[in-house]
């Protein structure tokens, strides 16, 4: 199951529904991936975004975000080096023990047609890294 930072921001009902779905998915042993990118402009119903994301991450097993998203959730100020990504990931996993893997992607726009995407993953013991080039069509 996958959730993003948008659904629970739309309404209290959407948050409650997603939270119930995540609890059920966790009970069933599903992999639950979270992309908790925070978009401040859509949180208009009074729920504290950090509190909501914290509740939802307690039932998630894969975190798809980077240092920016970790800093938002934890209130930290980690930098972007691999060493700081690992430390941020360790703190995230310590805070949310159900999270087993943390993924990050960094997109660099070389020009309007070419993008370079780097990805890295912390699985609790090892750092994995990959580079991908997006070619023009």
- The structural domains of the chain, with segments of one domain joined by +, span 2-103
pTM of the model: 0.86
- How high is the pLDDT of residue 118? 82
d(CA 16, CA 44): 15
In 5-126, DSSP assigns E strands to 33-35, 62-64, 101-109, 115-122
CA–CA separation, 59 and 96 (whole Å): 8
Mind listing the pLDDT tens digit for each residue in 61-111?
999 988 999 999 999 999 999 999 999 999 999 999 999 999 998 777 778
Q: Which of 7-16, 21-30, 38-47, 123-132 has the highest mean pLDDT?
A: 21-30
For the 2-103 domain, the top CATH level (class) is alpha beta
Q: Which residue has the higher pLDDT, 72 or 132?
A: 72
Residue with tokens 């240092």: 67
């Amino acid at each position: 199951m996958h959730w993003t930072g948008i659904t629970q921001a739309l309404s209290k009902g959407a948050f409650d529904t997603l939270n119930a779905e995540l609890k059920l998915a966790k009970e069933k042993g599903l992999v639950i991936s979270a992309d908790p990118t925070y978009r401040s402009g859509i949180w208009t119903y009074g729920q504290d975004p950090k509190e909501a994301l914290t509740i939802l991450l307690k039932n998630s097993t894969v975190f798809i975000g980077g240092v920016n998203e970790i800093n938002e959730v934890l209130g930290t100020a980690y930098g972007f080096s691999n060493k700081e990504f690992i430390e941020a990931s360790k703190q995230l996993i310590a805070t949310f023990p159900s999270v087993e893997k943390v993924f990050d992607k960094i997109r660099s726009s070389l020009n309007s047609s070419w993008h370079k995407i780097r990805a890295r993953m912390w699985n609790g013991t090892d750092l994995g890294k990959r580079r991908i080039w997006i070619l023009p069509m």
